[in-house]
Structure 1
Amino acid sequence: MFAPLVVLSLIVGCVAGLLIINDSMQVSITSPLIVGGILTYAAATALLAHIGLSHIRRLERWSLTDSLSKLPNRRALHAFVQNHKATQEELAVAIIDLDGFKSVNDHYGHAVGDEVIKRCAEILLDHCGREAHAFRLGGDEFAICMIGPLAGTLVEGISRAFIDQFRKPIEVQDRRIMIGASIGITSSKGPDRISSGEAMRRSDVAMYASKACGKMRCTWYKSELDRNREQMRDLDAEMRAALANDEFNVAYQPLVSAKTGDIVAVECLLRWDARPDGPVGPHIFVPVAEESGLINAIGIWVLRRACEEALGWGDLKLSVNISAVQLRDVEFPILLGQILEETGFPAERLELEVTETCLVNDPVQAERSLDVIRGFGVNVSLDDFGTGYASIGFLRQFRFEKLKLDRSLVTDAQADEGSRAMMLSSISMARALKMDVTAEGVETEEQATLVRSAGCDQIQGWLYYKALPPEEIQRHFDLQIGAQRKLAAIN
């Protein structure tokens, strides 16, 4: 709307200028044309300056705002922290990473992924209120920043409340989507105030510690985490070398019949006993492998090795755990089929164990993978039942052949009537859905009596067997076959 005025003023201004400097033209400086031109030119110049300043301010706002979530962006967070660097009050920064967001994009598409980001931004803003500031750093990362007394305590409270929002699916475009959040927090104040870059680095390190500890939690930064992060990188490099050098091994924990006590199946468990610097437990190295993506290769190695070693154990079932990463991998069922074909292991003897977490992050892809897996004749069991939110609808959707009761449910049922009722109802539900039931973590005769009377089909735990090397399983199997033959001969 200002363009004609600007152009006109420039023309008039130019004419006026020419009239002034042309000595041959006898025009007075007070001529209305000249005065009008000068005034118009001055007004237009001021208008252009105002428009330019407004435009610059608007561009600056845009540069500090995330276009999708409308939250302040990473640059805004840096600016916010730097602008308050001189204050003596406490500064707290939390970095949030959404767990399982990649699978949302992969399965539902980026349009749905964008809606998930917007919904998460709304949830974060609601929890921040007027006390704290919310930011989107890019991708599936957000941040919380607060300055003032007890800033760290308040940011931690907001972080925990944000995580709790994702313990159940969120509704996005008529879809129930399950994601999670891992959060890292740091704070500083007074003379110890750190730069924005260092605050974000520390929060980032703490966030990765949350992921390594199982996700869906918040972790405070401490200097040891830097050393831990370095150790994780070293451990990842060690694992890659171990996989190449065949340093991993597999142990097997038997499952016994609740009626006869005979071994009817074995669960294979990954071990790293041949590590040059000494053995390290799977609870330490498996999370590192999951974070680095190495778990796919390790999982395939375990599956192949277990099928090779268990091939000669008669009709014993072989149970193998698979991770959420493997189940999301569209190539996993193909690799499974290749292993069964190459090793000659009977598919009907193989059972894959999955946890609820493996399924809820991407239920559609999980169901597709399980359908292909069952097409080979392989059974699927739900592990650690009793620790999540699985309902009868969930069990019917995925059609498990077996339910494995978590050790905590068995332990609590021994001392608590409510837990005992929960265990009994779980077994009844499994029976109604034609699923076998295994009780895990049985360590005492009292627990064994309890789960037998409750109707469990199989029992697993240290009361009967710990994890054994393959040659020990072979020895026990041979003894069991010999005893069965003698009994058959007597009868």
Structure 2
Amino acid sequence: MTDSLSLLPNRRALHVDVQRYGARESELAIALIDLDGFKLVNDQYGHNVGDQVIKNCAKMLSDLCGQDARCYRLGGDEFAISMNGSLAGTIVEGISRSFIDLFKRPITVDDRRIVLGASIGISSSKGEDRQNSSELLRRSDVAMYASKRNGKMRCTWYQPEFDRNREAAQKIDSDMRQALANDEFYVLYQPLVCAQTSKIVAVESLLRWARPDGEPIGPDVFIPIAEETGLINPIGLKVLRQACRDALAWPDITLSVNISPAQLRDVEFPIQLGQILEETGFPAERLELEITETCLVLDPILAERTLDVIRGFGVNISLDDFGTGYASIGFLRMFRFEKLKLDRSLVVDAGDDEGSRAMMVSSISVARALNMAVTAEGVETQQQADLVRTAGCDQIQGWLYFKALPPEEITHHLNQQNFQDSNLKLIG
């Protein structure tokens, strides 16, 4: 009952061990571990390197467990820990957190620095309600996916509401598949204005879902589910195609489209992007893809290669939500973004806090030094607009100027803007 690659006990051994544990009044705890980014290792470096990574991780986990707990390889990039005793849950959680901490540094395999993460779910039971190994594994699996949804690199204890949330997520997933077939998704556009003239210079496409029952559900709810289930790829391509078609009617402005980490990890995405540009006839130089720092962290090398292919079409790349995550000056230098978008939280805090204001100003200075344009997001007051304009932002986006609008309203505003420009030229 040993896994041949890692030499750890296997899944069957876990079930046997749990059956052997006695003293039902003592606590039984099981942690389920999934490596974040392991598929990319196999895709990029091959299975020989992937196998060595598994061996290294097995050794790391075994050393942490020592004599206190037992660890297993369940298959693929999944591991588990089990323990029985009065402090089982506390000890298993401590081992889990220590294991996650080890991934704050890359794993070295054949002079390659492999960046991985770990998402962990933990469950336990004791007494008359003590669950069997299959149920505890299921609960730990549910908790592990909660760790992934909440940003990865963390461990999460199972809660009964997770099952209810999972049922709701499965319902949304099913509804999304039907919505994709029934063309229920549509695109709105929020203008970005020039900081100096307040004229519309770009629009950002924003996905919306018109449910037949009229029940509102925001993209912050359904997009993470789409990313988890793989639906984000067909939905994202639909948004990109529709946005390119709509923006053909707005020849003087830039079109910005958000790309999820899952899309950027898809090796087919650059090919699909090229096909959409050719199919719609949209000028590549007018298209700007917005990505977040999450797209870059797990595999910077793969991300850099993908972005290089995309830039080869003439498409620009913007770093979205800057100031909320991992991005460093080193990242900005590596990826050579054409634009930096300051997150709303940085803009809001800059109005009341000198430290946040200094951070915003320094971010703009770095962007300038690297020949990046800068946009301030989430501007809702005139005070904020004046602040980011004085700090040197090129563009401003927010409700102070425009909310998300349907394409016909974008056309109306641009026509008005062009009419005013024409009149000014005549007067001049």
Q: Is the pair's TM-score, using the shorter chain for normalization, greater than 0.5?
A: yes
1:258 matched to 2:210? The reply is no
CA distance in 2, matches of 1:395, 1:308: 31
Give the secondary-structure state (helix, strand or coil) at the position aligned to 2:23: coil
Give the secondary-structure state (helix, strand or coil) at the position aligned to 2:201: strand
Map of 1:65-464 to 2, 5 A cutoff?
65-276=2-213, 278-464=215-401
Q: Which runs of 4+ in 1 moved over 4 A?
A: none
Deviation readout 1:438-478 (Å, 9 max, x if unpaired): 11222222322222222111111222222222222222222
Give % identity: 71
Pick which of 293-302 and 140-149 moved more.
Answer: 140-149
Return the structure number with greater relative CO, CA threshold 8 A, min gap 6.
2
Residues 443 and 161 (structure 1), Cα distance of their counterparts in 2 relative to 1, 3 Å cut: farther
1:484 matched to 2:382? The reply is no
Contact kept, 8 Å, 1:439 with 1:456, in 2: the verdict is yes
Residues 163 and 460 (structure 1), Cα distance of their counterparts in 2 relative to 1, 3 Å cut: farther
Larger Cα-atom Rg: 1
CA distance in 2, matches of 1:158, 1:416: 39
Partner of 1:10: none
Partner of 2:408: 471
Contact kept, 8 Å, 2:24 with 2:128, in 1: the verdict is no
CA distance in 1, matches of 2:108, 2:363: 28
Give the secondary-structure state (helix, strand or coil) at the position aligned to 1:415: coil
Partner of 1:40: none
Match for 1:411: what amino acid? Answer: V
Give the secondary-structure state (helix, strand or coil) at the position aligned to 2:351: helix
CA distance in 2, matches of 1:157, 1:473: 54
Q: CA deviation at 1:372?
A: 1.9
Q: CA deviation at 1:277?
A: 5.4
Q: CA deviation at 1:250?
A: 0.8
Give the secondary-structure state (helix, strand or coil) at the position aligned to 2:330: helix
Q: CA deviation at 1:341?
A: 1.5
Match for 1:381: what amino acid? Answer: S
Match for 1:291: what amino acid? Answer: E
Match for 1:473: what amino acid? Answer: I
CA distance in 1, matches of 2:103, 2:351: 32
Q: CA deviation at 1:393?
A: 2.7
Match for 2:27: what amino acid? Answer: E
Deviation readout 1:41-80 (Å, 9 max, x if unpaired): xxxxxxxxxxxxxxxxxxxxxx2x3232233222222122
CA distance in 2, matches of 1:404, 1:365: 22
Deviation readout 1:328-385 (Å, 9 max, x if unpaired): 2222112111211221211111000111221232333322222221121110111122
With normalisation by structure 2, the TM-score equals 0.94
Deviation readout 1:239-270 (Å, 9 max, x if unpaired): 11111111001111111111111111111111
Contact kept, 8 Å, 2:121 with 2:155, in 1: the verdict is yes
CA distance in 2, matches of 1:370, 1:80: 48
Contact kept, 8 Å, 1:437 with 1:458, in 2: the verdict is yes
Pick which of 332-341 and 300-309 moved more.
Answer: 332-341
Residues 172 and 459 (structure 1), Cα distance of their counterparts in 2 relative to 1, 3 Å cut: farther
CA RMSD of aligned residues (A): 2.0
Map of 1:12-27 to 2, 5 A cutoff?
none
Q: CA deviation at 1:280?
A: 1.4
Q: CA deviation at 1:174?
A: 2.3
With normalisation by structure 1, the TM-score equals 0.82
CA distance in 2, matches of 1:168, 1:316: 43
CA distance in 2, matches of 1:229, 1:452: 44
Contact kept, 8 Å, 1:317 with 1:351, in 2: the verdict is yes
Structure 2 unaligned segments of length 5 or more: list them. none
Pick which of 251-260 and 464-473 moved more.
Answer: 464-473
Residues 154 and 417 (structure 1), Cα distance of their counterparts in 2 relative to 1, 3 Å cut: farther
Deviation readout 1:6-61 (Å, 9 max, x if unpaired): xxxxxxxxxxxxxxxxxxxxxxxxxxxxxxxxxxxxxxxxxxxxxxxxxxxxxxxx
**Number of matched pairs:** 428
Structure 1 unaligned segments of length 5 or more: list them. 1-62
Residues 416 and 172 (structure 1), Cα distance of their counterparts in 2 relative to 1, 3 Å cut: farther
Residues 172 and 276 (structure 1), Cα distance of their counterparts in 2 relative to 1, 3 Å cut: farther
Pick which of 111-120 and 342-351 moved more.
Answer: 111-120
Partner of 1:44: none
Q: CA deviation at 1:294?
A: 1.4
Pick which of 269-278 and 194-203 moved more.
Answer: 269-278
Match for 2:270: what amino acid? Answer: P
